[in-house]
Amino acid sequence: MTSEELLSGGTESLAVTVEWAIPEILSKPQIFKKATEELDAVIRQGRHAQPSIH
């Protein structure tokens, strides 16, 4: 297995997880509210998350 295969496999897994999680969160208002509150606490309202490249 090459490092490229390893990285693309991890990326695909993440994409599938996010694709599954977003509709689940949106369909459950209580979970959506809690997730929003947690993101607001970390990012603070009015700010946008910035990607970090290290």
pLDDT of 15-37, one tens digit each? 888 888 899 999 999 999 999 89
Residue 53 tokens, joined: 């490249």
Q: What is the pLDDT of residue 28?
A: 95
Q: How far apart are CA 36 and CA 23, in angstroms?
A: 14
Where residue 41 falls among pLDDT bands split at 50, 70, 90?
Answer: confident
54: pLDDT strictly greater than 80: no
Q: What is the pLDDT of residue 17?
A: 84
The CA angle 24-29-31, to the nearest 5 degrees, is 65
Cβ pair 20, 26 in contact under 8 A: no
DSSP H helices in 1-54: 3-26, 29-43
